[in-house]
Amino acid sequence: MATYKAPLRDMQFVLHELLDAEKVLSTLSGYEEVSKDVLDQYLEASAQFCENEIAPLNRAADEEGCHWDNGVVTTPKGFKEAYKQFCELGFPSLDCDPAYGGQGMPKTLGFPSMEMLVSANVAWSMYPGLSHGAYSAIHAHGEQWMKDLYLPKIVDGTWSGTMCLTEPHCGTDLGLLKSKAEANGDGTFNITGTKIFISAGEHDLTDNIVHLVLARLPDSPKDIKGISLFLVPKFIPDASGKPGVRNGVSCGSIEHKMGIKANATAVLNFDGAKGWLVGEVNKGMACMFTMMNAARLGCGMQGLGLGESAYQNAVAYAKDRVQMRSLSGTKRADLPADPIIVHPDVRRMLLTGKAYTEAGRAFSTWLAMQLDIEERSTDEAIRQDAADLVALLTPIAKAFMTDNGFVVTNQAMQVYGGHGFIREWGMEQYVRDCRISQIYEGTNTIQALDLIGRKVLLDQGQKLRKFTKIVHKFCEAQAQDAQMKEFVEPLQKLMKDVGDVTMHIGMQAMMNKDEAGAAAVDYLRLVGHLVFGYFWAWMVSVALGKMESGDKKFYQAKVHTARFYFQRLMPETAALLQTLRSGSKNLMDLEEDSFIF
Amino acid sequence: MATYKAPLRDMQFVLHELLDAEKVLSTLSGYEEVSKDVLDQYLEASAQFCENEIAPLNRAADEEGCHWDNGVVTTPKGFKEAYKQFCELGFPSLDCDPAYGGQGMPKTLGFPSMEMLVSANVAWSMYPGLSHGAYSAIHAHGEQWMKDLYLPKIVDGTWSGTMCLTEPHCGTDLGLLKSKAEANGDGTFNITGTKIFISAGEHDLTDNIVHLVLARLPDSPKDIKGISLFLVPKFIPDASGKPGVRNGVSCGSIEHKMGIKANATAVLNFDGAKGWLVGEVNKGMACMFTMMNAARLGCGMQGLGLGESAYQNAVAYAKDRVQMRSLSGTKRADLPADPIIVHPDVRRMLLTGKAYTEAGRAFSTWLAMQLDIEERSTDEAIRQDAADLVALLTPIAKAFMTDNGFVVTNQAMQVYGGHGFIREWGMEQYVRDCRISQIYEGTNTIQALDLIGRKVLLDQGQKLRKFTKIVHKFCEAQAQDAQMKEFVEPLQKLMKDVGDVTMHIGMQAMMNKDEAGAAAVDYLRLVGHLVFGYFWAWMVSVALGKMESGDKKFYQAKVHTARFYFQRLMPETAALLQTLRSGSKNLMDLEEDSFIF
C-alpha cells in the first residue's frame, strides 16, 4: 500500500532558503511575528497529522466511497474522527482572521499545509478545503451580521461550506443558469433550482453546511450579468446561533466517479430554500470569483500534492524491485537482478516527478506569498504588483500543475509495471484522483483562455511583463556566473520566444478571435515552462551558494534535477512554438459533419 | 451512456482504396479467393455483432466485474451468452487454419475485426483474444497430436487459452522465473509454481482452459535460456477428447484493478499440474514470442479501438452540448449557446482522436497485411522483407498506438467536462481500460528498448532502412505534386532527422549502453511519427485522386485531418529531437539516495 512522508526538508528549503519567508512576512501587516521557528512548528504539526491520521485512511476510503441513503450522506470509515481531531488541533483556523477565531497565519504557510493534506488524502482534504472557500467569500463580501454568525463556526470547523455553481445544463457557461431567487420582502430570498457536482455538498462531518449558491433574481438580466450569490445554510441558525430549522435544500444523490470517491459529489435540490444575499445584486460572479480563484489555486495544489505522493512511492518501489541487469553492467551482484532505479528510463519517469513537483512547490509557495503581499503589504504599488502576478499566474498554477500532476502520477504508476494497475498498491488511485483536477474549477482549456485572453492580451501584456521583468532581472544578476550559464541562456531564449509568440498571437487574434482559442492551451504550457524554468534556475542559484554548508547532497540534487528539467522537460517548448504558430485553420476547416462518416 | 458504431467507411477506405487488399491477397497462397465482397461481408457481420451484442454490455460489466468464489470465476451478466453467440457465428475461427476447422481468412481482415471487438468491449474481447494467442503458439510449435487434440476446440471456441508468464517477483525479467517442471518419464511433466496477472486465466465461458506456461526444468540454466513452454489444460482431455480429470491448477484469486474489470486477471497456482512440452526444451521464450508478438499487436489494437470509441462519443457530445458562444461570433442563434464543437480547443482534442485513430487503422491493417505476406507469399525475398517490417514495427504498433490511445481517451473524456469524470457516461472507463495497454505485454519502455536495441542497432539499421526506403520511394513519386508538398517535405525532413539521430545514438551506445536506454522511449515516439506521417501522406495521395468520385467530403476530411496531424501532432518531434540528443548523464548522475530527502 502507498504511504506518505511529508517532504519537510524541501518545504523548508523553499520557505527559508529560497523565499526567506520570515523576512518578507515581517514587512507585512499582521505577520511581523511569524518567525522561521513558528513556520517550522506548524509544518511539523501538519506533517504529523497528515502522515498518521489521514494518509492511512486513503486507500480504504476509495474502496468504500460515500454512502447516500434517502438524502443522508455518510463519509467513509475514520473520516469523521479524523475531522474531529483536525478541528481540535486548530487546523481549520490556520490562516483565518483572528477577529473570528482564526490563527492569523499567512497563506505562505497555508499552501504547504494544503499540499500535505492533498498528498495524504485528497478526498478528505476537500471537506475542509471547500469550507475555506466559503470562509473567504463571506469574509470578503458578507454583511457584518453574517460574518459574526457564520465565520466563527466555519473557522473552528463546526460548520463546513460549499460552492454551488454548476447545473445540469451549464458548467463552464454559468450565464445559462436557471436557479432562481425570489425576494421574501424581509431581506431573505427563496432559492429554487438544481445544482450538480457539488463537492462536499452533503456529509456527516459537521453540524451544519453553509452553501454559497449562484441564482438569478426574476428581473435580472438573463445572462452572466444577472447572477447573484446567496448564502443558504442546511440548517437555519436559531437565535442562539445553533443549527435550527432544516432549510429547503436536500441531497438528491451523489455521483459515482472515476476518483475522489471518498468526497461526496452531491446533486443538491433547492426547493424554496431560504437564502441571504452575499454582496450586491447581480454581482454574484465577482463574489464567486473570490472563492473561485482560491479554488483554482487549491486545485493546482492537488496536482502538486498527488504528484508528490505518487513520486515518493515510485522511488521506494524502484529501489526495492529488482528486475533485469543494468545495460551498462551489473550494479548489484549480491541480488538476483538490479533494482530498477538503475535503468535510465525508470529514472526518466522518476525525475519527471521530482522536477515537476519541486518546481511546483517553489512556485506555489511563492505565489502564496504574493497573495499575502497583495493583502498585507503597506505599499500600494507592491500590493498591485503582487495582485497582478497572482492574476496572471493563477491559471498557470491551476492548469500547468494539474496537467503535470497527471503526467507524474501516470509515470509513477508506470514504474510499478503491472502492479501499478492493481488497486491495492494505491498507485492507480493517484491517477484517478488527479484526473478531475484538470476538469473542475474551470477546465484547463478555460484556464488557458483566461490566461491568453483576460490576463495577457487584454492589458497588452502588462501583467506578463511584470513577471518577465523578474526573470530578466534574475538572469542579469546571474550573467557572470559560469555555473548558471546552462540555465540562464535557455531561460532568456524562452523569454524571447514567449514575447515573440505573444505578439504574434495578439496580432492574429485582432483579425480572428478563434486564433487566440486555437493557441491558448499550448500558450499556457509554454508560459508554464518559463515559470518553472525560472524557479529551477533560482533554486540552482541558491543551491550553488550553499554547496559547502554541510547538506551538499541536497543541493547537488537541486542542480541535477534542474539540469534534467532544462534538458528533458523544457524542450517541450520546441514543439509548442511550432503548434502555437500553426494557426486556427487546421482546427476550424473541418466541417462539423465530417468528423465521423 | 457511451455507444459504438463501427467505422466501416474508414475500414473500407483502408482495405480497398489504400491497400487494395483484394489484389495483394490474391498473390498470397490460400487467399486467392478473398474478394472485396467477402471482406466487406465479414466486416459488416463483425460490426453487427460488436454494436448490438457486446457494446451494450460494456458499462454494466465494468461495474459488476468478475466474481471469484473458492476458485470459481463468474464473468459479468451477458458475457456467457454473447460468447456463445460469437462461437455460433463462427468468429473464433475467422483467420484460423482450415485444417483445424478455421475459415482461413487473412489477418488483413482479422485486425479490423479485432479493432471492433476492442472498441465495443475490450474486457470481453480479451477472452477470445487470449485463445487466439494460444492457438498460434500450439499451431506453430505443438506436436501433431497436440494440434489434433486441442486446436479444433480452440478454433471453434469450445475451449479457451491463456499465456502464463508473470510471477510475483518477475514480469519484465522472466529469466528470474521460479516455476518448475519435472519430467514424469512418460512424456508428461509436473508443473509447480505461481503465476500472476493471467488475463482470462479462469472464467465460465468455456468447457476447458488451455494454459501455456513457462517453467524451468531442474537441470536447465538458471537464466532466460533455461525456460521451456508447457501446455497445461485445466481439465485433462479424456480418450474421446472431452474435458476429463481436473488438473492441478487452481485460481487463487482475481485482481482488483483500475480497469478491464470484466476480464478476470487470475492468480494461478500450479501444484504438480500435468503438462506437455511445447516446442523444444529451453526454447520456451522463442515459442512464447510467437504468442507475444501477436499479443503486442493485439495490445496496440486496444489503444486504437478504445481511442476510436472514445473519439466517436466525444464528437457526438460536442455536437450536442451547448456552452458559450464561439469567440468569432455566434454560430447557432437558435440555441441558448453554441454547440461546443465550435470552440477551437474542443476541435483540437477531437482532431487528435481522429488523426491518431485513422492513422493507427491504416498502419495496423497494413501491418496485418505484412503478416499475411510474411506467411503466404510465394516469393522468399518478399516474405523476408515483410518479416523484417513486422519485426521492426511491432514495438511501434504496441507502444505508439497505446500511448496515443491514452492521449485520445483522455482528451475525449476532457471534452465532456465534469460529466467525463462520472462513471455512467462511460468516458472515464475508456481511460481506465486503455491504461493497462501501456503496461502489459511488455511495458512501453520495454518496447522502446526492443526497437532501438534489437530491431535497429543490432542489424545496423537494415530493417529500419527497409521501411524508410518505402517512405523514400513514396516521397519521390509524389515530388511533382504541388498539393502533396506540405506533407512530403516534412516527411523527408523527419526521415533525415531519424537517420541522423539513429546514427548518433548508435555511436553513443557503443561507448555506453545506457545511452540507448536513455534515448529509447523518445526514439520510439520519433519513429512512430515517421510511420504515422507516412500513412497520413499516403492517405492524402489516395484521397486527392478521388476528390471527384462522389464522396468528396470523406476525402476532404482526410486532407484536413492529415494537415492537422502534420501541423499539430508531428511537431512533437521537435521536442523529441532535443531530448533524444541530451544523453544519459541527465538521468544517471543523480545518486540513488538523492531522489528523496
In a domain, B596, yes or no: no
A467 and A568 in a common domain:
yes
Over the stretch B104-148, which tens digit does the pLDDT of each residue have? 999 999 999 999 999 999 999 999 999 999 999 999 999 999 999
In a domain, A357, yes or no: no
Q: Please give the average per-residue pLDDT across B206-215, as a whole number.
A: 98
Nearest residue on chain A to B324, alpha-carbon basis: A173
Q: Does residue B310 carry a pLDDT above 90? A: yes
**Residue of B244, B243, B236, B131 whose CA lies nearest to B184:** B236
Nearest CB to A323 within list B172, B344, B586: B172
- Contact between B429 and B59 under an 8 Å Cβ cutoff? The reply is yes
B228 and B85 in a common domain:
no
Report the SS3 class of residue A236.
strand
**Contact pairs from chain A to chain B, CB under 8 Å:** 275
In a domain, A353, yes or no: no
Nearest residue on chain B to A447, alpha-carbon basis: B345
Nearest CB to A590 within list B256, B351, B593: B351
- In whole angstroms, give the CA distance from residue A87 to residue B399: 48
Q: Is B453 exposed, middle or buried (0-12, 13-18, 19+ CB in 10 A)?
A: middle
pLDDT of residue B255: 98
Q: Using 50, 70 and 90 to split pLDDT, how confident is the model at A418?
A: very high
- In whole angstroms, give the CA distance from residue B82 to residue B86: 6
pLDDT of residue A596: 97
In a domain, A395, yes or no: no
Q: Please give the average per-residue pLDDT across B468-472, as a whole number.
A: 98
A139 and A12 in a common domain:
yes
Name residue, grid cell 484538470.
Answer: A438
User: Could you please report the per-residue DSSP string of B178-246?
Assistant: --EEEE-SSSEEEEEEEEEEEET-S-SSSSEEEEEEEEE-TTS-SSGGGEEEEEEESEEE-TTSSEEEE
pLDDT of residue A170: 94
In a domain, A478, yes or no: yes
B504 and B370 in a common domain:
yes
A69 and A15 in a common domain:
yes
CA angle A464, A468, A474 (to 5 degrees): 160
Nearest residue on chain A to B321, alpha-carbon basis: A169
Q: Using 50, 70 and 90 to split pLDDT, how confident is the model at B465?
A: very high
Over the stretch B239-273, which tens digit does the pLDDT of each residue have? 899 999 999 999 999 999 999 999 999 999 999 99
pLDDT of residue B239: 86
Q: Please give the average per-residue pLDDT across B81-102, as a whole number.
A: 97
Nearest CB to A439 within list B256, B420, B582: B420
Last residue of a domain, one of A282, A307, A332: A282
A124 and A35 in a common domain:
yes
ipTM score assigned to the predicted complex: 0.98
Residues of A in contact with B197 (CB under 8 A): 418
Average pLDDT, chain B: 97
A204 and A90 in a common domain:
no
pLDDT of residue A446: 98
Number of domains in chain B: 3
Q: Does residue A174 carry a pLDDT above 90? A: yes
How distant is the Cα of B88 from the closest Cα of chain A, in angstroms? 30
- In whole angstroms, give the CA distance from residue A545 to residue A20: 15
Tell me, what CATH number does B184's domain have?
Answer: 2.40.110.20
Q: Does residue A478 carry a pLDDT above 90? A: yes
In a domain, B261, yes or no: yes
Interchain proximity A586–B259, CB inside 8 Å: no
B198 is in which domain, residue-wise? 160-282
pLDDT of residue A431: 98
How distant is the Cα of B55 from the closest Cα of chain A, in angstroms? 19
Over the stretch A507-557, which tens digit does the pLDDT of each residue have? 999 999 999 999 999 999 999 999 999 999 999 999 999 999 889 999 999
Interchain proximity A445–B345, CB inside 8 Å: yes
B159 or B294, greater pLDDT? B159
Last residue of a domain, one of B253, B282, B311: B282
Nearest residue on chain B to A518, alpha-carbon basis: B344
Nearest CB to B421 within list A420, A439, A588: A439
Over the stretch A328-378, which tens digit does the pLDDT of each residue have? 999 999 999 999 999 999 999 999 999 999 999 999 999 999 999 999 999
Over the stretch A206-264, which tens digit does the pLDDT of each residue have? 999 999 999 999 999 999 999 999 999 999 999 899 999 999 999 999 999 999 999 99
pLDDT of residue B13: 98
- In whole angstroms, give the CA distance from residue B54 to residue B58: 7
Last residue of a domain, one of B120, B144, B168: B144
In a domain, B3, yes or no: no
A73 and A17 in a common domain:
yes
Q: Which three cell numbers stand for residue B454?
A: 534489437
Q: Does residue B1 carry a pLDDT above 90? A: no
- Which are the catalytic amino acids of A? 441
Q: Using 50, 70 and 90 to split pLDDT, how confident is the model at B289?
A: confident
B165 and B125 in a common domain:
no
How distant is the Cα of A591 from the closest Cα of chain B, in angstroms? 8
Interchain proximity A564–B573, CB inside 8 Å: no
B439 and B312 in a common domain:
yes
- The secondary structure of residue B288, as a DSSP letter, is H
- Contact between B478 and B488 under an 8 Å Cβ cutoff? The reply is yes
Q: Does residue A26 carry a pLDDT above 90? A: yes
Q: Please give the average per-residue pLDDT across B68-93, as a whole number.
A: 97
Residues of B in contact with A336 (CB under 8 A): 176
pLDDT of residue B290: 81
- In whole angstroms, give the CA distance from residue B323 to residue B332: 11
In a domain, A328, yes or no: no
Residues of B in contact with A582 (CB under 8 A): 567-568, 571
A556 and A482 in a common domain:
yes
How distant is the Cα of A471 from the closest Cα of chain B, in angstroms? 23
- Which are the catalytic amino acids of B? 441
Which helix (H) or strand (E) covers residue B251, if one does? strand B249-254
B301 and B269 in a common domain:
no
User: Could you please report the per-residue DSSP string of A104-155?
Assistant: ---HHHHHHHHHHHHHHHHHHHHHHHHHHHHHHHHHHHS-HHHHHHHHHHHH
Over the stretch A62-116, which tens digit does the pLDDT of each residue have? 999 999 999 999 999 999 999 999 999 999 999 999 999 999 999 999 999 999 9
